[in-house]
């Protein structure tokens, strides 16, 4: 089973109507080489890079709830709190702390091609990354030759 990789550029999100009249959200991806219209309905894998959010605190990065806002709380309501005990005398690896957030490689499996218009592919649902970011479309060659 040979896999084909096509590099595309994420454009916008929009919505289309399927055969039964139901609204389907789709993302438009521009590709260099033309995709055949027989590929509508086929399943592909998308690989992209998520939006980078820079250096973020623990509330944004890990969804921490923060500390209480009363009873003497002065300037640390968004702080992470304690990061360890006295006994191990170290911070364990993998501790959820503030740092760079986003800019991750995201792979979406089982994405359906909803439509093809010359060099624009419409895929179901959202695609990782900002507008005009690169997206890799991976599909098996045998499923498209039949």
Residue 146: per-residue pLDDT: 45
Residue 14 host element (H or E): strand 3-17
Alpha carbon 72 to its chain centroid, in Å, reads 41
In this prediction, residue 102 carries a pLDDT of 94
Residue 116 falls inside a structural domain:
yes
At residue 145, the pLDDT reads: 52
What's the pLDDT at 100? Answer: 96
**Segment 70-110, tens digit of pLDDT:** 777 777 888 888 888 888 889 999 999 999 999 999 999 99
Does residue 130 sit within a domain?
Answer: yes
Does position 143 have pLDDT exceeding 60, yes or no?
no
With respect to residue 92, please indicate whether it lies within any of the assigned structural domains.
no
Q: How far is CA 54 from CA 60, 68, 140, in A?
A: 11, 26, 36
On the question of pLDDT at 23 being above 80, the answer is: yes
- Return the structure tokens found at 49: 């890079």
Q: Who has greater pLDDT, 88 or 111?
A: 111
Number of structural domains the chain divides into: 1
Residues 44-70: tens digit of each pLDDT? 999 999 999 999 999 999 999 988 877
Residue 83 counted as domain residue: no
pTM: 0.78
Both tokens assigned to 119: 């060099």
Structural domain range at position 128? 3-52+104-145
Does a structural domain hold residue 113?
yes
Q: Is residue 127 domain-resident? A: yes
| Residue 74 lies inside a defined structural domain of this protein | no
DSSP state for residue 61 in the 8-state scheme: H
Q: Domain holding 137: CATH number?
A: 2.40.30.10
């Amino acid at each position: 089973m040979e896999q084909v990789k096509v590099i595309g550029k994420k454009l916008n999100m929009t919505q289309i109507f399927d055969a039964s009249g139901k609204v389907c959200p789709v993302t438009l991806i521009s590709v260099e080489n033309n995709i055949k219209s027989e590929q509508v309905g086929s399943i592909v894998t998308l690989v992209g890079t998520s939006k980078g959010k820079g250096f973020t605190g623990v509330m944004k990065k890990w969804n921490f709830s923060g500390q209480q806002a009363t009873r003497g709380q002065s300037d640390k309501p968004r702080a992470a709190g304690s990061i360890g005990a006295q006994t191990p005398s170290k911070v364990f690896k993998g501790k959820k702390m503030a740092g760079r957030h986003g800019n991750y490689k995201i792979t979406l499996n089982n994405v359906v091609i909803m439509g093809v218009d010359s060099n624009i592919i419409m895929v179901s649902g959202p695609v990782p990354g900002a507008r005009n970011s690169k997206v890799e479309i991976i599909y098996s060659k045998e499923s498209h030759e039949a």
